[in-house]
């Protein structure tokens, strides 16, 4: 166990296989363990038949549990591999913003290419140059051992009027939606920013938020549909209170 390269790191996966594992891990981060074939097809924009074929292949490689009509779930081995792919993605995104000065709204596509190509050595070099524990969209970077983390953020829609919150992250699926991200940026709704829930209109009405500093505050309206995809924590909490996802053969260390 002391050697740097563990056996699972030598498993050779195609970029497509990696995309499936990463997709399943993102679902797991949202608390969804088993994902339906139709859902995978929708997210990855492929036909259900293609998904079924791929899941059979990943099952043979012992990376997913899969039974027809029951959906797919990562095995422990699959989870560790998937976490490593996501780790590359998020470190790459961070690197693109922190070191190369790229706009956070545009990193996802580039990082998606890099996650399949980055060597472990290059990744370590990237990691040394970044300082955050999350990607620019606010998602926690998995550990080197392949552990993933849950944070304590909640959708903006869950807070009550008068509450002051700090934006923690945007939903996974918004990462590739450059148009919406640009809109959020224009409104000042980016991870790390504090806002106050001013008013919640009933039913599907917009949420009014107070943004800005003490000198210049302004009120903006944000559609409930969008607000449900922006996650925040109470402003009084200092960090994301990251919690490791429980793993069955997890060793207690550090
Ligand atoms: Zn991304
Ligand atoms: Zn990201």
| 243 strand-pairing partners | 150
Compute the distance from residue 67 Cα to the ligand 2 centre, in Å. Answer: 31
Best CA proximity match to 156, nearest among 183, 194, 213, 103: 194
Q: How far is the CA of 47 from the centre of ligand 2 (A)?
A: 26
pLDDT for residue 246 = 65
pLDDT in 10s for each residue of the chain, 254 residues: 444 444 444 678 999 999 999 999 999 998 899 999 999 999 999 999 999 999 999 999 999 999 988 899 999 999 999 999 999 999 999 999 999 999 999 999 999 999 988 999 999 999 999 989 999 999 999 999 999 998 889 999 999 999 999 999 999 999 999 999 999 999 989 999 999 999 999 888 999 999 987 788 999 999 999 999 999 999 998 777 777 776 544 443 33
Q: What is the rounded CA–CA span in Å between residue 225 and residue 116?
A: 32
CA–centroid distance, 2 to ligand 2, in Å, is: 31
DSSP 3-state of 103 = coil
- Distance, in Å, from the CA atom of 169 to the CA atom of 192, rounded to the nearest integer, reads 8
Domains of the chain: 13-148 (1.10.10.10), 154-234 (2.30.30.90)
pTM: 0.87
Cα dihedral sign for 29, 99, 181, 237? Answer: positive
What is the CB neighbour count within 10 angstroms for residue 201? 11
User: E strands along 129-252, which residues?
Assistant: 149-150, 154-155, 164-170, 194-200, 207-212, 217-222, 230-234, 243-244
Given this model, what pLDDT does residue 10 score? Answer: 65
- Rounded to the nearest angstrom, the distance between the alpha carbon of 114 and the centre of ligand 1 is 11
Longest Cα pair distance anywhere in the chain, in angstroms? 61
For residue 247, the model assigns a pLDDT of 53
CA of 203 to the centre of ligand 2 (A): 30
Q: What is the pLDDT of residues 211-254, one digit of tens each?
A: 987 788 999 999 999 999 999 999 998 777 777 776 544 443 33
């Amino acid at each position: 166990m002391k050697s740097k390269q563990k056996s699972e790191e030598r498993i050779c996966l195609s970029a497509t296989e990696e995309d499936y594992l990463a997709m399943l891990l993102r679902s797991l981060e949202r608390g969804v363990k088993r994902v339906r074939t139709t859902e995978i097809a929708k997210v990855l924009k492929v036909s259900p038949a293609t998904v079924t074929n791929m899941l059979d292949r990943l099952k043979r490689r012992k990376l997913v549990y899969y039974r027809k009509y029951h959906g797919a779930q990562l095995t422990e081995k699959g989870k560790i591999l998937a976490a490593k792919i996501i780790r590359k993605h998020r470190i790459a995104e961070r690197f693109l913003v922190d070191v190369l000065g790229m706009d956070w709204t545009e990193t996802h596509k580039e990082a998606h290419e890099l996650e399949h190509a980055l060597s472990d050595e290059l990744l370590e070099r990237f990691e040394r140059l970044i300082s955050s524990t999350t990607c620019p969209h606010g998602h926690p970077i998995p550990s080197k051992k392949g552990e993933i983390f849950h944070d304590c953020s909640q959708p903006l829609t869950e807070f009550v009027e008068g509450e002051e919150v700090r934006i923690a992250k945007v939903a996974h699926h918004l990462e590739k939606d450059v148009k919406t991200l640009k809109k959020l940026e224009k409104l000042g709704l980016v991870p790390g920013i504090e806002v106050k829930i001013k008013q919640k209109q009933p039913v599907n009405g917009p949420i009014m938020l107070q943004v800005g500093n003490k000198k210049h505050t302004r009120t903006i309206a944000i559609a409930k549909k969008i607000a449900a995809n922006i996650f925040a924590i109470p402003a009084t909490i200092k960090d994301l209170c990251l919690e490791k996802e429980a793993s069955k053969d997890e060793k207690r260390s550090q």
